[in-house]
Structure 1
Amino acid sequence: MKRTTENIEEQYEMFQILNENGEVVNEEAMPQLSDEELQELMRRMVYTRILDQRSIALNRQGRLGFYAPTAGQEASQLGSHFALEKEDFLLPGYRDVPQLIWHGLPLYKAFLFSKGHYVGNQMDGVNAVSPQIIIGAQITQTAGVALGMKKRGKQNVAVTYTGDGGASQGDFYEGMNFAGAYSAPAIFFVQNNRFAISVPVEKQSAAKTIAQKAVAAGIEGVQVDGMDVLAVYAATKDARERAINGEGPTLIETLTYRYGPHTMAGDDPTRYRTEEMDSEWEQKDPLVRFRKFLENKGLWSEEKENEIIENAKEEIKAAIKEADGQPKQQVTELMELMYEEGMDQNLQQQYDEYKEKESK
């Protein structure tokens, strides 16, 4: 049994295209992206890093509510999304707001989601659902969405994201097993940033990789360098093509790292991460790595990046202003949205009480 397990684990070597110095180490796997597409991918990563920095500042100012930092995970998040089509369906976790934005969610709505405003959960014209707060719940939902696409004959995929903590949930196994049994066009992303909220991945599972958990569901599994945007893109594109060709779902584990806390709600990563570990992963920064690659190809410059940074700051400033300008959310509005038909006596009494308070 031990030999069987070891043989399985050995098959899941980390897939990589760019090393930490931005050098190509896997020429055969290089995706066919134009110079313009490579630049656009970097633009999105730089923009998202600035968005993260500004969101943290806005949270500290009390202008945003719940926020989960994303710095360090840009390659995993945006490399995967770049391989998708607009008609593909996203079921994100709470850290995956950047994918929603690049999928078409207006930036001001992303801020409203953080503020807890119901308008921030209205995905008009965007093939997506609101970010899932319950860890792992989106995985079973993804299996259902993917099966629905298959039954309607759509050439699209359902894609979901969770962290390594999500892979410890029962929904993780149930969702993959269901999707595998029905050969549903789904892609399950586990962004392994090593600590879930605060528990090391080694204490969450005896398995050497999360990718190998695909074996039990009878689906494809791959472990990818989550700091290498080209590797993530290539793995996602391959998984998408196999899914729409009827070859079933894929589990993709991206080895990544969040530089900030789990959320801005009081988490202190210094209690469970060492300075040495932080420093080690900072050397693998996805933006630095991809920047070196592009500069070597003559496709990037400091001037270009500064222009993107300034543009991002202006757009973020306008978006938060628009979000702040939305009418204040009322409790009665939430109740009206929740109940399509009449409320029972107790709820109606509460509704009337809040309506009276709000009218003053």
Structure 2
Amino acid sequence: MIDNLDYPVQLIQPNGARVCRPEFDRLITDIGPDELLSLYRDLVVSRRIDTEAVALQRQGEIGLWAPMLGQEAAQVGSARALAPDDFAFTSYREHAVAYCRGVPPELLTTMWRGISHSGWDPEQVNVTNPAIVVGSQGLHATGYALGAHLDGAEIATIAYFGDGATSQGDIAEAMGFAASFRVGVVFFCQNNQWAISEPVSLQSRTPISHRAIGYGIPAIRVDGNDVLAVLAVTRSALNRAREGSGPTFIEAITCRMGPHTTSDDPSRYRADTDMSEWRSRDPLERMRLFLGRRDLLGENELSTIAAAADDVAAGLRRATIALADPPPSALFDHVYAEAHPLIDVEREEHRAYLRSMEGASS
């Protein structure tokens, strides 16, 4: 599956024109008009969720948020390629992946509001909660896939990470292990051009996908702003994983058009003019033009999708603001799967500390 790494796979041009790639077209023959509209709806709703969460953070309702503006196609296309039994291991920016896998939008801000260790039960939707430790999810996805294979399950896992995470040891170790044992994991790198405040050109002198080849892992680059191309490429990689052919590395070329997180000011390290070209490649506008060329997206469809996105955002806002602070003892819940004597001791020590503070204040 080593494609020409100098030319990322593209099925839809920025102006909405379709590109013929038979080897990838055959992977999406089931994507008809309804499915195309559904993909566009997911793109629009995901962006609306993201903008609403940023607004909530600016208003003090959540503590932090990692915006995904510009990366919607990479996330929606890859998430929609997953089978129900596949498992996604995310970083902290894959809000669209969580949404596409069935995570209720009102749970997306729970952790970021600081009232929970996590937002949802991963086993119910087969997608993990946000991983704050950069790169750790690569190891988790590899281990889970190997365990599933040993249990006889024909599933795949996918590990999402950014270009910056490829400089972390966890990703290197995961790739080495996956290559050695032919683990059914897809390494999905969203190369969004910036590792916090440093450009990707500083941390990697060659395309990031070349690193995978050094491990003996097939690699492919895809236009990460082309939802159809991402869907096709990810389906191919997941098929390889499920059939026992081992890992694949996907480098989705996209751009983080906003800040790294809401605590970041990107104007300090990049000029606004640097974003002009990427704005012309906007994944939502590209899909809108593509659908328009096929007379699939009229004013009725646009207004219906926009209204649906607004409804999701309104529900997200209401649920977030209504989230109550948990009792202090909740800090010790769910640290281990079962009761642990060390946690019991620490919980009691914490309660004693709180009682002592009540006495001091009186």
TM-score normalized by the length of structure 1: 0.91
Contact residue 184 and residue 248 of structure 1 kept, 8 A: yes
Aligned equivalent of 1:223 = 221
Does the 8 Å CA contact 1:111/1:320 hold for their aligned counterparts?
A: no
How far apart are the structure 2 equivalents of 1:180 and 1:80?
A: 21
Q: CA deviation at 1:279?
A: 0.5
CA distance in 1, matches of 2:252, 2:277: 17
Q: Which residue of 2 aligns with 1:246?
A: 244
CA distance in 1, matches of 2:321, 2:126: 25
Matched, 1:34 2:9: no
Which residue number in structure 2 is paired with residue 332 of structure 1?
Answer: 329
- Residue 353 of structure 2 aligns with which residue? 353
Q: Mean alpha-carbon deviation: is it higher for 120-129 or for 347-356? A: 347-356
Q: Is the 8 A contact 1:164 1:191 kept in 2?
A: yes
Q: Quickly say closer, same or farther: Cα 1:152–1:346, change in 2 above 3 A.
A: closer
CA RMSD of aligned residues (A): 2.2
Q: Structure 2: which 5+ residue stretches go unaligned?
A: none
Q: Which runs of 4+ in 1 moved over 4 A?
A: 8-12, 344-347, 355-360
Per-residue CA distance 1:93-114 (angstroms, 9 max, x = gap) = 0001221122121111112122
Per the alignment, residue 156 of structure 1 pairs with: 155
Say which SS state the counterpart of residue 55 (structure 2) adopts.
Answer: helix
Residue 19 of structure 2 corresponds to residue 25 of structure 1: yes
Task: Quote the Cα distance in structure 2 between the aligned partners of 1:270 and 1:94.
Answer: 22
- Residue 271 of structure 1, CA deviation: 1.8
User: Post-superposition shift, 1:355?
Assistant: 6.1
Return 5+ residue gaps in structure 1 as ranges. 1-7
Q: Which residue of 2 aligns with 1:5?
A: none
What is the percentage of aligned positions where both structures have the same residue? 36
SS in 1 for 2:126: coil
Q: Using the TM superposition, give the Cα deviation of residue 349 of structure 1 relative to its aligned residue in structure 2, in angstroms.
A: 2.2
CA distance in 2, matches of 1:21, 1:358: 65
- Alpha-carbon distance in structure 2 between the residues aligned to 1:268 and 1:328: 29
Check whether the contact 1:92–1:161 (CA below 8 A) recurs between aligned residues. Answer: yes
TM superposition shift of 1:241? 1.0
Q: In the comparison of the two structures, how many residue pairs are matched?
A: 351
Letter in 2 for 1:349: E
Contact persistence 1:45–1:78 (CA under 8 A):
yes
1:14 aligns with 2:8: yes
Q: Deviations over 1:207-246 (max 9, x none)?
A: 2x11111112211100111111111111001101111111
How far apart, CA to CA, are the structure 1 residues paired with 2:346 and 2:13? 61
TM-score by length of 2: 0.91
Asked if the contact 1:224–1:235 (Cα under 8 Å) also holds between the matched residues in 2, the reply is yes
Tell me if the contact between 1:76 and 1:254 (Cα under 8 Å) persists in the aligned partners. yes
Paired amino acid for 2:271? T
Q: How does 1:1-360 map to 2 (within 5 A)?
A: 11-28=5-22, 29-30=24-25, 31-32=28-29, 33-118=31-116, 120-123=119-122, 125-207=124-206, 209-265=207-263, 267-338=264-335, 340-343=339-342, 348-354=348-354
